[in-house]
Amino acid sequence: MIPVTLLTGFLGSGKTTLLQRLLTDPGMARAAVLINEFGEVGLDHHLLDRIDDNVVLMKSGCICCTVRGEVADALMNLHSLLTRGEIDFDRVVIETTGLADPYPVLQTLRAHPVLRSHFDNGGVLTTVDAVNATRQVEHRAEAVRQIAAADRIVLTKTDLAEDGEIAALRATLSRLNPSARVLTNMDAADAIVRDLDPGVPPLPEAEKIDGHHHHHDHDLNEDLGVVTFSLTVEENVDWTDFGIWLTLLLHRYGDRIFRFKGILAIAGEERPVAVHGVQHLVHAPVHMEHWPEGARVSRMVFILEGLDPERIRRSFAAFMRLKSVKAVA
Ligand SMILES: Nc1nc2c(ncn2[C@@H]2O[C@H](COP(=O)(O)OP(=O)(O)OP(=O)(O)O)[C@@H](O)[C@H]2O)c(=O)[nH]1
């Protein structure tokens, strides 16, 4: 399986600049790059030094309508070139336009009948502009979605921001997506590349979750805004029931669930099982070796938009017939 890393981030947040730097790392020597740009004529590829057969430019008028098809076609092309021995690559990086929601691309990778057997989720890397992100997060839903979907965040333009601004932004990021690892443009390319594949998603430490974060988003015009919250359960969870509950939940509210991650104590399983997903998409569950912090307690984290966390807590407790479900504040 070939990992596909999604490089996303708001307009002008430094995706191309970062990509250019990452491509100098030996770990990226055999990366194929897809660039998906908004607008008639792509420019970004001119900015990348390494223009060769492995860099494919996708032009996309309206990202929402065409991204799935374009990405799928481009990956299919890459794969047939690979099997014919015309090019060689061991990973793919897709740079999306600054206005893209990463979710459709993740979903394409997962659901496409052919792609799903060749390509794997290689993680979402989101660039966050230390100078402008605070404002973007307040006004633009895409910016929040990109941060929520991230496995790794790279803070860019930290050289232009005050220490206080950076600290405040880090606090905002850890509320919006407590489990994303945050690096900066000051980190060496190899440190960022080494860290690309998400593997088992790290869950936030309990103390990092600070309950309900209310964030007003003018575009969404939802009273509740974006809320991050977590649930803990002491009793074992029945895997089949959980699957049904999660399917029903995502079917009904997937659009409003930017991200969820969980470590579950499954009845009949010694080891913890990690689950995670983005909107309607659930990644394959992973068996972990150890319980983080030693305790066998199920924990789930949700990043919601316009959805009352209490509704999720109640539905989970009722459907699963569990008594010990707590929302962590
Ligand atoms: N000072 C400074 N400037 C940066 C940094 N990263 C990016 N820039 C500048 O910010 C501008 C936008 O960077 P790009 O890499 O083109 O951003 P992008 O996210 O690819 O932009 P779009 O594709 O238009 O969304 C360029 O002028 C970069 O030189 C950084 O870490 N520090």
Domain boundary among 167, 194, 221: 194
Instruction: Tell me if 201 is assigned to some domain.
Output: no
Residue of the nearest CA to atom 32 in ligand 1?
Answer: 157
Q: What is the pLDDT of residue 55?
A: 52
DSSP 8-state symbol, 27: G
181/257 same-domain check: no
Mean pLDDT throughout 231-252? 89
Q: How far apart are CA 212 and CA 225, in angstroms?
A: 11
122/153 same-domain check: yes
| CB-ligand 1 contact for 184 (6 Å cutoff) | no
The residue whose two tokens read 């399986």 is 1
227/121 same-domain check: no
Q: What are the structure tokens assigned to 158, written together?
A: 């930290």
Residue of the nearest CA to atom 31 in ligand 1?
Answer: 157
Query: In sequence order, what E strands does the chain have?
Result: 2-9, 31-38, 55-60, 91-95, 119-129, 152-156, 181-184, 226-233, 257-264, 273-278, 281-282, 286-287, 298-305, 326-328
CATH at 48? 3.40.50.300
| CB-ligand 1 contact for 272 (6 Å cutoff) | no
| CB-ligand 1 contact for 20 (6 Å cutoff) | no
Q: What is the pLDDT of residue 294?
A: 76
Q: What is the pLDDT of residue 110?
A: 80
Residue 265 has pLDDT above 90, yes or no: yes
> Residue 47 CA: which ligand 1 atom is closest?
16
Average pLDDT, rounded, for the chain:
78
Beta strands 273-278; 286-287: pairing state: antiparallel
* Residue 326 CA to ligand 1 centre (angstroms): 43
Q: How far apart are CA 132 and CA 150, in angstroms?
A: 18
Tell me the pLDDT tens digit for each residue of 167-202. Answer: 999 999 988 888 888 999 998 888 888 777 655 444
> Residue 13 CA: which ligand 1 atom is closest?
19
222/183 same-domain check: no
What's the total number of domains in the chain?
Answer: 2
How far the first Cα of the chain sits from its last, in Å, is 40
Domain boundary among 166, 194, 222: 194
Q: What is the pLDDT of residue 287?
A: 84
139/247 same-domain check: no
Mean pLDDT throughout 226-250? 88
* Residue 55 CA to ligand 1 centre (angstroms): 19
- What predicted TM-score, i.e. pTM, was given to this entire model? 0.69
133/106 same-domain check: yes
Domain boundary among 140, 169, 194: 194
Q: What are the structure tokens assigned to 98, written together?
A: 């600054």
* Residue 175 CA to ligand 1 centre (angstroms): 25
More confident residue, 167 or 121: 167
Mean pLDDT throughout 283-288? 80
Distances (CA, A) of 119 to 89, 157, 283: 12, 32, 13
Beta strands 55-60; 31-38: pairing state: parallel
Domain of residue 304: give its range.
209-328
pLDDT band at 221 (very low <50, low <70, confident <90, very high): very low
Q: How far apart are CA 153 and CA 181, in angstroms?
A: 6
188/231 same-domain check: no
| CB-ligand 1 contact for 17 (6 Å cutoff) | yes
| CB-ligand 1 contact for 131 (6 Å cutoff) | no
156/271 same-domain check: no
Contact in structure between 291 and 212 (CB atoms under 8 Å): no
Contact in structure between 315 and 245 (CB atoms under 8 Å): yes
